[in-house]
Amino acid sequence: MIRAATRLALATIPLAVVAACSGAPSDAPAATNAAMPTDNTAATVRDLPEGQRTAVFLRAIRDAGRDCQTVTKAVEVTAVQGTPTWQATCDDGAQWIVAIGADGVATVTNRAELRQADGTAKAG
């Protein structure tokens, strides 16, 4: 199974969204990822306005090396092994499972990879 983990920088997401919309390059140094000082990152993500929440998922997907230009939909689904989980749909129709641990680390995978990890993928 291909797994990728990324540290969510929730404190910088609103700034990143605004910066992406500015259109003009900036001489300011790039924001660095930082861990949230709380262990309730999933609740923080859950409480974000929809636009910011989808930006968090887009950042997690891209940081995991997955292809996605825009997250068009994000729905919270049944937790995976007790970890709060969302299904994020990209503009190309790709669906990613984003599980956010208490430490703020997001694991990004897809359903086929989950089936392989569980040993339920069909051979051939």
pLDDT band, very low/low/confident/very high, at 118 (cuts 50, 70, 90): confident
Q: What residues contact residue 77 under an 8 Å CB cut-off, 6+ apart?
A: 85, 86, 87, 97
Q: Is residue 96 part of a domain?
A: yes
Higher pLDDT, 67 or 20: 67
Residues present in the chain in total: 124
- Is the CB of residue 108 less than 8 Å from the CB of residue 97? yes
Q: Is residue 123 part of a domain?
A: no
Identify the weakest region by mean pLDDT among 21-25, 88-92, 101-105, 111-115: 21-25
pLDDT at 114: 77
- Is the CB of residue 44 less than 8 Å from the CB of residue 86? no
pTM greater than 0.85:
no
Is the pLDDT at 81 greater than 90? The verdict is: no
Handedness of CA 7, 39, 31, 59 (dihedral sign): positive
pLDDT in tens, 30-57: 444 444 344 589 999 999 999 999 999 9
Q: Is residue 27 part of a domain?
A: no
Q: Is residue 88 part of a domain?
A: yes
Domain limits for position 11: 4-21+35-118
Q: Is residue 73 part of a domain?
A: yes
pLDDT at 21: 43
pLDDT in tens, 91-113: 999 999 999 998 899 999 998 88
